[in-house]
Each structure stands twice: as structure tokens, then as C-alpha cells.
Amino acid sequence: MKKLLASVALAAIALTGASAQAEDYPSRTIEVITHAGNGGGTDVTARMMMLRARRELGEDMVVLNKKGGGGAVAMDHYLDVPADGHAILVFTIGHAATVAKGKTKLTLDDIRPIARGTDDPQILMVRCGEYDNAEAFVAVQKDNALSYGTTHLGNINDVSAFMFTTKGGLQTPKIVPFDGGGELATQLLAGAVDVAVLNLAEAGSQIDAGEVCPIVVLADNRMNGLPDVSTAKELGIDVSFSTVRGFVVHKNTPDEVAEKIEASLFKAMNHGVYQGFLESVGLDSTSVAGSDVWGAQINAMTNDMNAALKELGFIE
């Protein structure tokens, strides 16, 4: 009987401690750790989330940029910070590639998904008037290799190009890397490449001017902002890649703290301020998702990246 009472007392103390821990959180400034430089898409996404999240959490939030290694520097740094919720890691498709290549000490077992902030499909873009339709774009590559411009090597952009042509039974493309999406869109217009692998926002001005035309979306469903553009799957090519950005915490973060962070970030990103940001870059409210959806996507995209990188010879 004494043992039973002692166990009940210990359980009550544990529950009280956990509740107090959640009530006391946050107790200091929260760092949002990212691999991106100031002004990049990932950096902007984090800062837009923070505009309302700091109000929801009742504490200031700051961005900590840890650049290098395709996210490896940020992930390795994150492993050494306390698992108390005062540091949140931005996790992207680029991080998934880095994890798949074994370039970081961090594994998926070390993190807990919180919420997704953007789900921005990769889009194959061409000069307007170059092809009558997506079917013609695919048909020409049955016999002729096109040059694809990307902003990364061994990452989502060139993997997207290779997997689209490989699974479509098309000629292997020539990959031409550029420093950024803006330069790539400009060079596509100049004729330096035949195709550009971009996100919608990266070529927004050229699309609005009728100079660059999205021709295939690498997603499961058509984009609300591009209702007339076919998906690769509609063309019989089973490829889906998105530039996703979301937030994770340490696996050992107390449940009550992690749940408080998720609820706060989810509410912040469903606020009109963040939704306006999504609309400005051609996305919509479906980008925002909770931990269940985001966690499943992290696992799926890491596995897909691993398989794609192996198939293309980037890893053994």
C-alpha cells in the first residue's frame, strides 16, 4: 500500500512539474536557427512566421544564421543546444538532402516536427512561345537533350531535373548551375539554358511580363496560382518535388513545451499577416500544416531524396 501511495505521489509530482514547465515556457528569447543568409527565401519565411509567433508565445524571437554545408552547420550546431524549446530549427528539403547524404551528425531520430510553413512546388519554366504545350515540351526531349538551369548541384533543383527526365524516359539533360533564382530567370530569357527549375516567386516578374512561362509543375496537384499548368503526374511522369520549409525541435523537448510551440506557430501562420506573405509568393493556406502532416513529409522527402541521389550516383 505504501509503495502504491509513493508511486501515485511521484506521478503527481511529475505531472505537476511538467505542467509548471509548460507554464514557465518560454522564459527567455527564442532562437530560430537557419542555414540561410539574410533575405533568402528560408530566412524570410522564418521572419514572417516570427512576426505573430512572438506574440503568441509572449517572448521575443531572433534569427540565428548558421550558414554552410547545405544546412549541415546549422544542424550540427542544433544538436548542442538544450532541448528546452528555446531554440527552434528551420528544416527544409535541402536539409533532407544533407541528411540523406550523411553530411551532418543529425538524424531524423534527433528531431520532432512542429509545423510546416511553405510547400512550394518545383516548376519547369521555359521562354514563352517555345512550346505549344506540356506534351510538346516532353515530346521534344525524347530525342533531344535540353539544358536545364538550376541553383544547386546535388540538391533539389538538379535532382528534380534528373528525376523528371529519367522517369519520363527522356534524354539526360545538361545541368547548368547559377548563383540564384533571379539570375537563372534572366539567363533563361537570354537563351543561356532551355529550361529553368524555379519556384513561382523566383520568376514572378518575368511571368507577369509574359516572358517566362511555367510549363510543368512537379507536384501531386495543380497549383491554385497556376490552374492551367499540368503536373508531371498528369503527363505520366511520377515526380513530385517541393521547396518545403518548416520547423522542428529536439526529440527530447518536453511534450507540453513542444505542443505549446506547435499551437503558437500554427496560429501565427494562419494569421492574415503570414497568409498575405504566402499569397505574395504565389502560395496559399495549404502550405501551413501541423506536426502530423509535416512529420510524414519530412520522412517521405528524406527517403525520396536518398533514393534519387542513389539512382543519380550522388551517393552510394
The domains of the chain, with CATH numbers, are 20-119+243-311 (3.40.190.150), 120-235 (3.40.190.10)
Mean pLDDT of the chain: 90
Q: What is the pLDDT confidence band of residue 16, given thresholds at 50, 70 and 90?
A: very low
Residue 298 has pLDDT above 50, yes or no: yes
Residue 8, pLDDT above cutoff 70:
no
pLDDT-based confidence at 140, cuts 50/70/90?
Answer: very high
pLDDT of residue 149: 96
- Cβ neighbors of 303 (< 8 A, separation 6 or more) are none
Contacts for 211 with CB less than 8 Å, ≥ 6 apart:
127, 128, 189
